[in-house]
């Protein structure tokens, strides 16, 4: 009887904490996956913003070139 009680006690001391750690590890893995997804979304948003900035810059550059050409044409 004592040996059975000892085995149950040993089981609860050794095996149950490992099961608890496993669920914590899975939660951490889920958190890491979520963070990676957030980073990927942020990278995509940054690329989109960079593309918009490039478009705006090109538009301003084209307007400047157009104004410059118009003023040059008037001088001639």
| pLDDT tens sequence across 34-71 | 999 999 999 999 999 999 999 999 988 888 888 877 77
Please report the pLDDT score of residue 39 as a whole number: 96
Could you give the CA distance from residue 57 to residue 75 in angstroms, rounded to a whole number?
27
Cα 33 from Cα 11, distance rounded (Å) = 33
pLDDT of 27 = 87
């Amino acid at each position: 009887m004592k040996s059975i009680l000892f085995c149950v006690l040993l089981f609860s001391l050794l095996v149950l904490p490992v099961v608890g750690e496993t669920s914590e590890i899975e939660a951490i893995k889920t958190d890491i996956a979520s963070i990676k997804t957030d980073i990927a979304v942020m990278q995509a948003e940054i690329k989109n913003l960079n593309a918009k900035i490039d478009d705006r810059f090109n538009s301003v550059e084209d307007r400047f070139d157009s104004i410059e050409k118009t003023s040059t044409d008037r001088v001639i």
